């Protein structure tokens, strides 16, 4: 199969190549490759531009073949550039555009089924506003395709057609080679249009059909506004899918998921929660409102938030409590540990049942390097303590509130670093009467 991804994406007005823009935290191109994986294609060739090393690297990381189109001269020319990589391949070839992040395996299966005995099948759709999409021109019986006309080349009556080209073609490899060899660029954009293969097939007396796909599945992303639209559709689908799998969402429209989010049944997620990439939440977890989660695994029984920020590398164990204004990064908390208020836990392991008091900070960075903190099982860290890493607190040790810990603390010990308290009997009362007298004297002078 071939994915065309060499276009400049100029309408995005962004330094990031269009196909690497994320939808649900996953690059558009990745979403397409994931949808296509359901068809188990023999070969996957992605056509990229010469000045897109980041796209080429992404393609290689995904185990696909990268073909270069230099310079880009249209979608038909892009498909031609993929042909050497299909050398020796026979059978049907699927060609997709690289800017359709919402394609589903079901729609691809529908396209392939629609081809049946015909020479060519393509993905069509009927958007509310056909805008710049290519128009599908059908025969008088509305059965077979005569040709595709790009909006820029269309006559007034052709532009009124609402059945459009979504960008997905399936046809035999031998025919594809023949049709691509016959393309010309005598059109409004001076490009070689892949869409002209439909008229080419027709000229050979072959039949081409369109599969009418759901609009949401095939929308193309060409601008930032369309990227946001695609994201909205992705989120709507993700919310429904997670609820269907048994996740409770009190206010679904305010919870944001990523393509790789995994959540077990019976987990509850409150309003205004953002789940960025790399999050796995077990069954029976409670995530309270206003949390931001990224790169974290959360075990069953854990209670998170409200207002918690869990950053990459965090492993939240069973029944752990993470409360308001707590930030974790590369923090592993074992069963039943608690950090309920106003705390930073970075590069740390916290043993089972340990209690981290309000305002505790792991000082993990000296401006040059990061260091680890180990907190033992059952340890009790008093409020407003700074643990200056590298440092370890032994099992069941206590740290007195307000301590700055720079040395390891032995198991079962109490570590205190604050000054000894001194009480001066009656001092406050004497101070008040002295100051009141002073104020009265200065008022008289005025």
Query: What is the set of active-site residues?
Result: 341
Q: Does residue 270 interact with Ca ion by CB under 5 A?
A: no
DSSP conformation class of 126: -
Which has the closest alpha carbon to 121: 72, 188, 168?
A: 168
Considering only 78-86, 93-101, 129-137, 310-318, which stretch makes contact with Ca ion by CB under 5 A? Answer: 93-101
Residue 306: asked if its preceding bond is cis (omega within 30°), the reply is yes
Instruction: Identify the burial level of 33 via C-beta atoms within 10 angstroms of its C-beta, where 0-12 means exposed, 13-18 middle and 19 or more buried.
Output: buried
Instruction: Using DSSP bridges, classify how beta strands 164-172 and 120-125 pair: parallel, antiparallel or unpaired.
Output: antiparallel
User: Minimum Å distance from CB 99 to Ca ion?
Assistant: 5
User: Minimum Å distance from CB 79 to ligand UD1?
Assistant: 8
User: Minimum Å distance from CB 164 to ligand UD1?
Assistant: 5
Work out the angle between the directed axes of helices 173-181 and 75-82 (0-180°, nearest 10).
130
User: Minimum Å distance from CB 271 to ligand UD1?
Assistant: 35
Q: Dihedral angle at the C-alpha atoms of 263, 266, 271, 275, nearest 10 degrees?
A: -10
Considering only 93-101, 287-295, 314-322, 419-427, which stretch makes contact with ligand UD1 by CB under 6 A? Answer: 93-101
How many positions of this chain bind Ca ion (CB under 5 A)? 3
Closer by beta carbon to Ca ion, 220 or else 353: 220
* C-beta of residue 331 within 8 angstroms of C-beta of residue 314: yes
Q: Does residue 6 interact with ligand UD1 by CB under 6 A?
A: yes
In sequence order, the β-bridge partners of residue 93 are: 171
Q: Is the dihedral of CA 405, 406, 409, 413 positive or negative?
A: negative
CA angle 244, 248, 252 (to 5 degrees): 85
**How many CB atoms are closer than 10 A to CB 308?**
25
Which residues, 6+ apart, have CB-to-CB distance to 195 below 8 Å? 75, 76, 134, 147, 148, 150, 165
Residue 390: asked if its preceding bond is cis (omega within 30°), the reply is yes
Q: In a 3-state reduction of DSSP, which class is residue 269?
A: strand
Judged by CB under 6 A, the residue of 24, 30, 72, 346 near ligand UD1 is 72
Considering only 159-167, 277-285, 378-386, 437-445, which stretch makes contact with ligand UD1 by CB under 6 A? Answer: 159-167
Interface with Ca ion in residues 98-157 (CB under 5 A): 99
CA angle 49, 52, 56 (to 5 degrees): 90
Interface with ligand UD1 in residues 210-269 (CB under 6 A): 220, 222
Judged by CB under 6 A, the residue of 30, 167, 317, 346 near ligand UD1 is 167
Considering only 102-110, 162-170, 269-277, 338-346, which stretch makes contact with ligand UD1 by CB under 6 A? Answer: 162-170
User: Minimum Å distance from CB 302 to ligand UD1?
Assistant: 41
Considering only 65-73, 101-109, 155-163, 238-246, which stretch makes contact with ligand UD1 by CB under 6 A? Answer: 65-73
Q: Does residue 220 interact with Ca ion by CB under 5 A?
A: yes
Interface with ligand UD1 in residues 305-364 (CB under 6 A): none
Closer by beta carbon to ligand UD1, 163 or else 257: 163
Considering only 104-112, 127-135, 245-253, 310-318, which stretch makes contact with ligand UD1 by CB under 6 A? Answer: 127-135
Query: What distance in Å separates the CA atoms of residue 32 and residue 18, rounded to the nearest whole number?
Result: 13
DSSP conformation class of 195: G
* C-beta of residue 4 within 8 angstroms of C-beta of residue 45: no
Placement of tokens 């601008």 in the chain: 223
Judged by CB under 6 A, the residue of 5, 227, 322, 337 near ligand UD1 is 5
Q: Does residue 102 interact with ligand UD1 by CB under 6 A?
A: no
Q: What are the angstrom distances between the C-alpha of 88 and each of 84, 91, 351, 372?
A: 9, 10, 59, 55
Closer by beta carbon to ligand UD1, 47 or else 176: 47
Judged by CB under 6 A, the residue of 31, 59, 82, 97 near ligand UD1 is 97
C-alpha 354: how far from its chain's center?
A: 33
User: Minimum Å distance from CB 14 to ligand UD1?
Assistant: 14
Residue 164 binds what, of Ca ion, ligand UD1, none (CB under 5 to 8 Å, by partner type)?
Answer: ligand UD1
User: Minimum Å distance from CB 60 to ligand UD1?
Assistant: 17
Closer by beta carbon to Ca ion, 219 or else 356: 219
Placement of tokens 């198991």 in the chain: 411
Torsion angles phi and psi, residue 11, rounded to 5: -70, -15
User: Minimum Å distance from CB 37 to ligand UD1?
Assistant: 19
Q: Does residue 133 interact with ligand UD1 by CB under 6 A?
A: yes
Query: What distance in Å separates the CA atoms of residue 153 and residue 70, rounded to the nearest whole number?
Result: 25
Residues that bind Ca ion (CB under 5 A): 99, 220, 222
Residues that bind ligand UD1 (CB under 6 A): 4-7, 47, 69, 72-75, 77-78, 97-99, 132-134, 148, 150, 164-167, 193-195, 220, 222
């Amino acid at each position: 199969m071939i994915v065309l991804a060499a276009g400049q994406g100029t309408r995005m007005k962004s330094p990031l190549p269009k196909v690497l823009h994320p939808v649900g935290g996953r690059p558009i191109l990745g979403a397409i490759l994931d949808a296509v994986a359901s068809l188990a294609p023999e070969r996957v060739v992605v056509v990229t531009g010469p000045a897109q090393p980041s796209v080429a690297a992404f393609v290689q990381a995904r185990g696909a073949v990268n073909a270069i189109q230099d310079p880009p001269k249209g979608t038909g020319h892009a498909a031609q550039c993929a042909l050497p990589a299909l050398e020796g391949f026979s059978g049907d070839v699927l060609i997709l555009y690289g800017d359709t992040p919402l394609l589903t395996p079901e729609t691809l299966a529908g396209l392939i089924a629609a081809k049946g005995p015909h020479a060519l099948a393509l993905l069509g759709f009927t958007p509310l506003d056909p805008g710049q999409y290519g128009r599908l021109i059908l025969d008088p019986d509305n059965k077979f395709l005569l040709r595709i006309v790009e909006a820029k080349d269309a006559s007034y009556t052709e532009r009124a057609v609402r059945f459009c080209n979504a960008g997905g073609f399936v046809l035999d490899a031998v025919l594809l080679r023949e049709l691509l060899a016959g393309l010309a660029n005598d059109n409004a954009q001076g490009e070689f249009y892949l869409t002209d293969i439909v008229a080419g097939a027709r000229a050979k007396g072959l039949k081409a059909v369109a599969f009418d796909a759901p609009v949401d599945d095939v929308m193309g992303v060409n601008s930032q506004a369309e990227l946001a639209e695609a994201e909205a559709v992705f989120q709507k689908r993700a919310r429904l899918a997670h609820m269907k799998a048994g996740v409770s969402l009190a206010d679904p429209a305010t919870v944001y998921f990523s393509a790789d989010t995994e959540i077990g049944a019976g987990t509850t997620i409150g309003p205004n929660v953002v789940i960025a990439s790399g999050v796995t939440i077990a069954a029976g977890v409670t995530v309270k409102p206003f949390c931001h989660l990224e790169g974290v695994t959360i075990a069953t029984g854990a209670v998170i938030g409200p207002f918690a920020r869990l950053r990459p590398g965090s492993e939240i164990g069973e029944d752990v409590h993470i409360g308001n204004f707590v930030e974790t990064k590369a923090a592993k908390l074992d069963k039943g540990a608690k950090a309920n208020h106003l705390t930073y836990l970075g590069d740390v392991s916290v043993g089972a049942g340990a209690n981290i008091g309000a305002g505790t900070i792991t000082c993990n960075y000296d401006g040059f390097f990061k260091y680890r903190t180990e907190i033992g099982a059952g340890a009790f860290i008093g409020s407003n303590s700074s643990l200056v890493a590298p440092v370890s607190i032994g099992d069941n040790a206590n740290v007195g509130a307000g301590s700055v810990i720079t040395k390891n603390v032995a198991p079962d010990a109490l570590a205190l670093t604050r000054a000894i308290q001194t009480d001066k009997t009656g001092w406050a009362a004497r101070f008040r009467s002295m100051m009141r007298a002073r104020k009265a004297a200065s008022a008289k002078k005025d």
